[in-house]
Structure 1
C-alpha cells in the first residue's frame, strides 16, 4: 500500500471514528436526558389524555438522529446486521400495522409502528459506532456520568421539578421521592439500575474509579426514588445473571419459566383470588401498588378481542376510554398504561403480536447466547448485555415499556439484544484485520 493510499484510508477511519463518537454520545444523551428534562407534574396538562409527550423539537431531533444513524450504518462494512432478524421483524411490524389499520385509531398505530421501527434501526446500528470495547466503555461511562450530574443538579437546584411534590395532580402520595430529570420516580429507579450495570462494566473495561463512582451515585439515587421493586431487583438480577452465566442447564428455566411465573404471580393475582390470598400470606402486596385493578380491567377487554387486539397504541388514554363513564366501575379506565408489557402487547396487537414479541426478545437471545464461544459467554461485554436483558424482561412484568419509542430502557434493551447477537457471531481476529473480515462489531 502506498503512503498516499494509507493516509487516505487512515483519514477515512479517523472521520468514521469521530462521526461514530458524536452519534453515540448524542443518541445516549437524547434518550437518557431528553430534550425536555425536569417536567412540571403539577400542571393540569398531565391529566389530559390528548396531551402527547412529544413536541416539534423532539420530532426533529429524532428524525435527524435516525438519518445520521442510518447513513452511518449503510456505509459500515457490517451493514447487513441492521434490523435483524429481518424475516421475524417484517412479520411482526406488518402485523402491528394491520391491527392498527383496522382499529378505531389507525393513525396512532401507524405512527407508533414507524417510530418503533426507527428506534429498532437505531439500536441495531448503535454498537457499530464505537471503535473498540474500551472506546464503548469510555463513552458509556462519560455519558452515564453526565446523566447522573444532571439528575443530582436537579435535586440540588431544581427540587420542585426533581422531587415529587404533594401538589402534583396525578400521584401526590409520592411527595418527597426523587425523580431527577425523569418524568417519574419509577422511570428514574429503572434508569439507575441500568446505570449501575453500566458502572460495573466501565469499572472492568475502562476506568475503575469512574465505574465505582457510577455505581455509588446510581445506588444512592435509586434508594431515594423509593422504587422498592427496582431496588430489590438490582441485587437479584446480579445474582440471577451470575447463575445464568455459570449454569447452562438453568438458562431456559430462568428466562422462560422465570418470566412466566413472575407474570403468573403478578397479573394472575388480579384474576385468581386463591393466588391473591397466597401472595398476601407471603407478606407481598397482592395488588402490586394498585396495579391489580388495571390488570383485571385489561383482561376483561382482552377477552373481547384476543386475536387482533385494539390496535397498536390505540387503547390506553384514548378519549373514548377515558371519558366512557367506566370510571364509575373502576378508575383503571384512566390509567396511562397497563403496567405490564406482555399484557399491553396482547391488548394492543392480540396474542399473535405477543407471540412474535416473545420470539424476538426471549427465544432468540437464548439461542444467541447458546451459540457463543466460551470466551464470549464469560466476557464483561456479554455480562453487561445479559444483565440489561434479564432486568428488562422481568421488570416488564410490572411496567409497560415494549416498543416505547422514547423510552431509554427500551432502547438500551434493544441494543443489548443486538449486542448478544453480535457476540454470538464474534470470532478471534488480529488487530490488522478489517471489520468486514472479522464479522464482529467494534463494541
Structure 2
C-alpha cells in the first residue's frame, strides 16, 4: 500500500466532505449531543437506564453510513476493518459466547456498537488531505472540546464539578469533570488532549498546540485523577525510551503491561503480594478497586473458557439486585476497572488472547516495520503515545470495545495510524506539478 495522490475532478468537494466528517465525528464523541449530565438524579443508580437516546442513535448511524460511503470510494479502502481475519475470529467468538450467555441481546448490541466504532476509526485517517490538515482539524476540535469543559466549570459548576448531592460517588465533590460524565473520563480525555497539543505544536501551530497542552494539564490536575495525572509525564518518558531504544520495545510493552497488571490486580488476589505493596506505602486497594477484582476473579473461575457473555456481567439486574451487597459492594460496580480482566470475565481466555493479539502484538509488529524516515516522525510519535497510554491505563479502567467511548475510538485510530505508518505516510504538501490531486494517507 503506497502513498499517492488521488485523481479527482472535484478535489475541493472531497476536501470539504473529509473535513466535515472529521469534525462531526470528533465533536460527536468528544462533546456529545447531551453534555453536562446531571448525576444527582436517581436514574444514575438504575442499571437498566441506558445513557443513549433516539437522536444519539440516529446520528451515530448517519455518521457511520457517511464514513462508510466515503471509505468505500477512497482508493485505500482496503484498510477498512483490517486485520479482517483476526477481527472475524474475535467477533465470531464474542458472538458465540454472547449467544450462550444469559443476556445475548446485550452482547450482540455491544458487538454492533464496537464494530461501528472500529469501522469509523479505520476510515478516520483517510479523511485529512495532508498531515498539516490533520493537525489543524485535531487542534481546532480539541480547542472546542476544551471550550466546553471550561465553560461548564465557569458557568455550570453544578453540572461540570462533582457535587456532594450525587448519589453514586458523593466523595468526588469539588473535582472537575466538565461536560464529561465522570472525573476519570475527563482526566483520560485531557491526557489525550495533551498528546494532541504536542502534535499540533509541531504539525500546525506552536501557539495553538501550547495552549492545548497548558489548558489540558490545568484541567487534568483539577479532575483529581491521580492515575492519569501521573501517567501523562510517565507515558511521555516511556514513549521517548520506546522510540530511542528498539531492543527495549518488547520488554516495555509485553513485560510492562504484564507487570503493571500483576502489580495492580495481583495485590488484590494474592494476599502476601498485597501486603508487600502496602508496605511500600502504596494504596494496595487502588482506590477501592481490590474488592471488585477479587469478586471478578471468583466469577471468572466459574467460566474461564467462555466467560459470562460479552457485556453481560456488570450492571445486569441479577447481579445488582442479587443481595450480594451483604458480602461485597462490588456487585454494584459499573465495570471491572481493568480491561484485560473484564475481557477474560466476559469472553473467556480465548477472547482475551485474541484481544491481546489485535491490540498489543499486532501494533508491535507494525511499529517494527516503520521505516527509518518515519520512525521518529511527529505523527508516529502521536500514535505511539496514545497506544502506550491506553494499554497501560487499561490496567485500571475498563475501556476495550466500548462503543461510545472517545478513548476507545482514539486508541483505534492510533492503531490504524501505526498500520499506515508502517505501509504509507500522510503527505505533507501537494506536489507542485499535480495541483489537481489530493494527498491521502
Q: 34, 39, 64: which is aligned to 2:32?
A: 34
SS at match of 2:128: coil
Q: Which residue of 2 aligns with 1:104?
A: 102
Q: Which residue of 1 aligns with 2:138?
A: 140
Q: Which residue of 2 aligns with 1:387?
A: 385
Per-residue Cα deviation, 1:290-346 (whole angstroms, up to 9, x for no partner): 000000000000000001101111000000011111111000000000000000000
SS at match of 2:283: coil
Q: Which residue of 2 aligns with 1:353?
A: 351
Q: In the alignment, is the contact (CA less than 8 A) between 2:305 and 2:348 conserved in 1? A: yes
Per-residue Cα deviation, 1:264-308 (whole angstroms, up to 9, x for no partner): 010011110111111111111000000000000000000000011
Q: Residues 68, 169 of structure 1: CA spacing in aligned structure 2 closer, same or farther, 3 A cutoff?
A: same
Per-residue Cα deviation, 1:232-277 (whole angstroms, up to 9, x for no partner): 0000000000000000000000000000000001001111011111
Please state how far the C-alpha of 1:9 moved relative to its aligned partner.
Answer: 5.9
Q: Which residue of 2 aligns with 1:331?
A: 329
Q: 178, 195, 198: which is aligned to 1:197?
A: 195
Q: In the alignment, is the contact (CA less than 8 A) between 1:78 and 1:441 conserved in 2? A: no
Cα distance in 2 between the residues matched to 1:151 and 1:336? 24
Q: Which residue of 2 aligns with 1:311?
A: 309
Q: In the alignment, is the contact (CA less than 8 A) between 1:241 and 1:387 conserved in 2? A: yes
Cα distance in 2 between the residues matched to 1:131 and 1:255? 32
Q: In the alignment, is the contact (CA less than 8 A) between 1:140 and 1:198 conserved in 2? A: yes
Q: Which residue of 2 aligns with 1:52?
A: 50
SS at match of 2:440: coil
Asked whether 1:155 is paired with 2:162, we answer no
Please state how far the C-alpha of 1:226 moved relative to its aligned partner.
Answer: 0.5
Q: In the alignment, is the contact (CA less than 8 A) between 2:131 and 2:426 conserved in 1? A: no
Per-residue Cα deviation, 1:377-402 (whole angstroms, up to 9, x for no partner): 10000000000000000000000000
Q: Which residues in structure 2 correspond to 1:171-190 (within 5 Å)?
A: 171-190=169-188
Cα distance in 2 between the residues matched to 1:381 and 1:423? 8
Asked whether 1:214 is paired with 2:179, we answer no
Cα distance in 2 between the residues matched to 1:215 and 1:375? 27
Cα distance in 2 between the residues matched to 1:255 and 1:406? 26
Cα distance in 1 between the residues matched to 2:137 and 2:10? 21
Unaligned runs of 5+ in 2: 1-5
Please state how far the C-alpha of 1:64 moved relative to its aligned partner.
Answer: 0.3
SS at match of 1:217: helix
Please state how far the C-alpha of 1:442 moved relative to its aligned partner.
Answer: 2.7
Q: Which residue of 2 aligns with 1:415?
A: 413
Q: Which residue of 2 aligns with 1:3?
A: none
Q: Residues 334, 431 of structure 1: CA spacing in aligned structure 2 closer, same or farther, 3 A cutoff?
A: same
Cα distance in 1 between the residues matched to 2:432 and 2:47? 54
Cα distance in 2 between the residues matched to 1:9 and 1:136? 20
Q: Count how many residue pairs are aligned between Structure 1 and Structure 2.
A: 433
Asked whether 1:343 is paired with 2:341, we answer yes
Cα distance in 2 between the residues matched to 1:434 and 1:197? 35
Q: Which residue of 1 aligns with 2:3?
A: none
Q: 13, 16, 20: which is aligned to 1:15?
A: 13
Per-residue Cα deviation, 1:173-227 (whole angstroms, up to 9, x for no partner): 0000000000000000000000000000000000000000000000000000000
Cα distance in 1 between the residues matched to 2:83 and 2:270? 37
Where relative contact order (Cα < 8 A, 6+ residues apart) is larger, the structure is: 2
Q: In the alignment, is the contact (CA less than 8 A) between 1:385 and 1:420 conserved in 2? A: yes
Q: Which residue of 1 aligns with 2:269?
A: 271
Q: Which residues in structure 2 correspond to 1:78-97 (within 5 Å)?
A: 78-97=76-95
- Runs of 4+ deviating beyond 3 Å: 8-11, 427-435
Q: Which residue of 2 aligns with 1:5?
A: none
Q: In the alignment, is the contact (CA less than 8 A) between 2:307 and 2:348 conserved in 1? A: yes
Cα distance in 1 between the residues matched to 2:253 and 2:346? 24
Unaligned runs of 5+ in 1: 1-7
Q: Residues 423, 144 of structure 1: CA spacing in aligned structure 2 closer, same or farther, 3 A cutoff?
A: same
TM-score, normalization: structure 1? 0.95
SS at match of 1:267: helix
Per-residue Cα deviation, 1:30-68 (whole angstroms, up to 9, x for no partner): 110111110000000000010111111110010000000
Asked whether 1:253 is paired with 2:264, we answer no
Q: In the alignment, is the contact (CA less than 8 A) between 1:128 and 1:441 conserved in 2? A: no
Q: 374, 377, 398: which is aligned to 1:376?
A: 374
Cα distance in 2 between the residues matched to 1:215 and 1:79? 34
Cα distance in 2 between the residues matched to 1:251 and 1:340? 23
